[in-house]
Amino acid sequence: MAQDVYVIGVDYGSDSVRSVLVNALNGEEVASSVFNYPRWNKGAFCVPAENQFRQHPLDYVEGLEKTIKDCLEKAGGAAIAGAVKGISVDTTGSTPVAVNQQGTPLALLPEFAENPNAMFVLWKDHTGVQEAAEINEHATKFETNYLQFVGGIYSSEWFWAKLLHVLREDAQVREATYSWVEHCDWIPFLLTGGNNVDQMKRSVCSAGHKSLWAAEFGGLPPNDFFASLDPVLDGFTSRLFQDTYTSDQAAGQLSAEWAERLGLSTDVVVGVGAFDCHMGAVGGQIEPYHLSKVMGTSTCDMLVAPIDEIGDTLVNGICGQVPGSIIPGMMGLEAGQSAFGDTYAWFKRILLWPLQNLLANSQVIDAATAEALVEEVSNRIIPELSIAADQILLSENNEFAIDWFNGRRTPDANQVLKGAISGLGLGSDAPRVFRALVEATCFGAKKIVDRFNEQGVPVKGLIGLGGVARKSPFIMQMMADVMNMPIRIHKSEQTCAIGAAMFAATAAGLYNRVEDAMEAMGQGFDLEYFPNQERVGLYAKRYQKYTELGGFLEIHSAPAKLTVLSDLPETGSPAQEGQTRPITSAQTELQGLTR
């Protein structure tokens, strides 16, 4: 490249979308823009008590246009726009949506505009727990182990469990659904003007880690696997996909409509999409056998290894291992925690409840002051808790917590599990409880490292990525102490968006391999935390107690059988024998395959 050329990386998170305009020559971030999803931030279409989390596609489309145009305007407008060569996108996942044959999400049709089942089912939506349990049990009936490449256990956070739940729950959506599409595949399809979902280029990332696609199966499991699970799935694989693509390839070029909307050329190449954590690992300059931890609301832990070295080794209980899913030509392995930053946010919400709910009716201060006070405390509460918690003397018997506040993603997916706090006394205050919660998330992270090491894929280093890694020395130091390993922190706070930009540069032909883009555009590391050996031994003892408490909770959270009345007699008459029926709650996902 003799002169400056630019690429755009678009990162769809849980709460917002961020676009970055990057100089493809050296990785310089020229401009960035963030768009908070307006419908999502109002809580629309979500029922947290029922683990229902849905997002309207208009939040995605509006954010896409707003952030890219904003970046171009900040950078100089038309002069810069003419030098943009590529766009690539990462998204949360598995976050799929029902579409018609044209590839239009049903929620963009007038008759489904307010129907949550016609919207994107966000990664942390766990309404498909029962369906995931059924998939795990059903898979044991087949000679071929169709779960072997996703860690042996299928999760309610993934593609098929969500599809089956939506099809069962909503007949109107079921009748209108032609196919089921991941968010990371739909945005490139949208940008390239796609109008036939059968021609959509599906990412090997989403397909391999969440959809049970594997080259060894010749694609997806056969129709019989799904039709015998539930007739509503009969024939569905024929409306999905067989071929998949790595993210260094082009999905197409920017359509005339989107070129006009964004002020760009139709020569701009749009890359194949992928999940945020996968592109984030690339943006964070992942290295073989180094676990790249993208730490946000949840964590995604990514590891790459040469395919010839990993051979036939399969790691049980993780989120899958797929050739080419992170770096083309290497094996990509994924694990993670269902709640990381979300755990701290939950505790913050509890502490803020009095301010948010009582100050509005205060007789002492006016409404504007009350609102300002809530905002001030909200911004300061986690940093102040971190300072106070760091001053607490570590002992073997401090308060304990289990980090399953949104279920457990890995090792061994089980979204039925719940978080816990133990060892409380009258001296337990907010900093002590917060410290226990942070420690629990670090222990949960250690469980993942232990699983990789135990099953033949050594973890030789740790890389911290994302907002938590950059902003919380307290949490990162504890992570190093618990792991008894150094952890390097990547310089960029936007590794997912930067990773998308690296893939955009590769898809556009500016680099031959994404590794070359990583080397040229990577920003490097500027922090490293080393374990405090005075604390390592105590954390090891507390980790053993964490393991024991977690095991106890898991045993005692096994599904219970409930008895409810059915076919009731007339009012006032007692229920007779035979007028009850047993109902078994959702089977734990831990009952999946481990063979």
Residue 365 shares a structural domain with residue 475: yes
pLDDT of residue 533: 96
Mean pLDDT of 30-56: 96
Query: Residue 172: how many CB atoms within 10 A of its CB?
Result: 13
DSSP 238: G
Average pLDDT for 221-244: 97
Q: Are residues 128 and 24 in the same domain?
A: yes
The contacts of residue 240 (CB under 8 Å, 6+ apart) are 179, 180, 202, 211, 220
Give the tens place of pLDDT for each residue, 172-209.
999 999 999 999 999 999 999 999 999 999 999 999 99
Please, what sign has the CA dihedral across residues 250, 8, 14, 108?
negative
Q: How many domains does the chain have?
A: 2
Q: Are residues 59 and 169 in the same domain?
A: yes
Q: What is the mean pLDDT of residues 358-387?
A: 93
Peptide bond into 574 cis (omega under 30): no
Domain boundary among 503, 523, 543: 523
The bridge status of strand 54-55 relative to strand 29-36 is unpaired
Burial 93-123 (b: 16+ CB within 10 A, else e): bbbbbbbbeebbbbbbeeebeebbbbbbbbb
pLDDT at 297: 86
Element of type H or E holding 337: strand 330-337
Mean pLDDT of the chain: 92
Q: Which of 501, 523, 545 is the endpoint of a domain?
A: 523
Segment 258-296, tens digit of pLDDT: 999 999 999 999 999 999 999 999 999 999 999 999 998
Give the 3-state DSSP-derived string for 179-234, with helices as H, strands as E and coil as C. Answer: EEEEHHHHHHHHHCCCCCHHHCCCEHHHHHHHCCCEHHHCECCCHHHHHCCCHHHC
- Report yes or no on 319 lying in a domain: no
Q: The pTM is what?
A: 0.87
Residues present in the chain in total? 595
Q: Which percentage of the chain shows pLDDT scores above 70?
A: 93
> How many Cα atoms sit within 13 Å of 259 on the Cβ side?
18
Six token digits for residue 36: 């908070």
Task: Give the model's pLDDT for residue 2.
Answer: 54
**303 located within any domain:** no
Determine whether 536 is exposed, middle or buried from the number of CB atoms within 10 Å of its CB (0-12, 13-18, 19+).
middle
In the predicted model, is pLDDT for residue 437 greater than 90? Answer: yes
Helices 367-390 + 341-358 axis angle, to 10: 140
31 within a domain of the structure (yes/no): yes
CA dihedral sign, ordered 387, 389, 392, 396: negative
> Are both 404 and 533 inside the same structural domain?
yes
pLDDT confidence band for 88 (50 / 70 / 90): very high
Give me the pLDDT at residue 361, please. Answer: 86
- Residue 510 shares a structural domain with residue 549: no
Between the alpha carbon of residue 91 and those of residues 158, 185, 468, the distances in Å are 14, 9, 19
CB of 504 within 8 A of CB of 86?
A: yes
- Looking at the domain assignment, is residue 387 inside a domain? yes
Q: Categorise residue 402: left if φ over 0, alpha if ψ from -120 to 50, beta otherwise.
A: beta
Task: Judge whether residue 565 has pLDDT over 50.
Answer: no
564 pLDDT tier (thresholds 50, 70, 90): very low
What pLDDT does residue 109 have? 98
Nearest Cα to Cα of residue 151 among 96, 208, 207, 95: 208
In a domain? residue 503: yes
Looking at the fold, whether 16 and 128 belong to one and the same domain comes out as: yes
* Contact predicate 463/293, CB 8 Å: yes
Strands 54-55 and 120-121: antiparallel
d(CA 527, CA 486): 10
Q: What is the pLDDT of residues 540-552, one digit of tens each?
A: 999 999 999 999 9
Tell me whether residue 471 is in a domain: yes
For 494-517, the three-class secondary structure string (H helix, E strand, C coil) is: CHHHHHHHHHHHHHCCCCCCHHHH
Output Rg (C-alpha) for the chain, integer angstroms: 24
Lowest mean pLDDT among 1-15, 155-169, 441-455, 563-577: 563-577
Is it the case that residue 449 has pLDDT exceeding 70? yes
* CATH number of the domain residue 193 falls in: 3.30.420.40
Is residue 484 in a domain?
Answer: yes
Q: Is the pLDDT of residue 561 over 50?
A: no
What is the pLDDT at residue 568?
33
Clarify whether residues 27 and 72 are in a common domain: yes
What local confidence, expressed as pLDDT, does residue 33 receive? 98
Other C-beta atoms closer than 10 Å to the C-beta of 332 total 27
pLDDT tens digits for range 130-175: 999 999 999 999 999 999 999 999 999 999 999 999 999 999 999 9
The pLDDT, as a whole number, for residue 559 is 57
Q: Judge if 377 and 504 occupy the same domain.
A: no
Tell me if 568 is assigned to some domain: no
Q: For residues 354-365, give the mean pLDDT.
A: 90
Share of the chain above pLDDT 90, in %: 89
Q: Do residues 221 and 97 both lie within one domain?
A: yes
Q: Are residues 365 and 454 in the same domain?
A: yes
Q: Are residues 442 and 503 in the same domain?
A: no
pLDDT above 60 for 444: yes
From the number of C-beta atoms within 10 Å of its C-beta (0-12, 13-18, 19+), residue 280 rates as buried
Structure tokens at 310: 């990993």
Q: In this structure, are residues 154 and 136 in contact, taking their beta carbons and an 8 Å threshold? A: yes
Q: Judge contact between 248 and 514, C-beta under 8 A.
A: yes
pLDDT at 466 (0 to 100): 84
Give me the domain span that covers residue 404. 341-490+528-555
First vs last C-alpha separation in the chain: 50
Residue 503 clears pLDDT 60, i.e. is over it = yes
Are both 354 and 410 inside the same structural domain? Answer: yes
Task: Report the DSSP beta bridge partners of residue 422.
Answer: 400
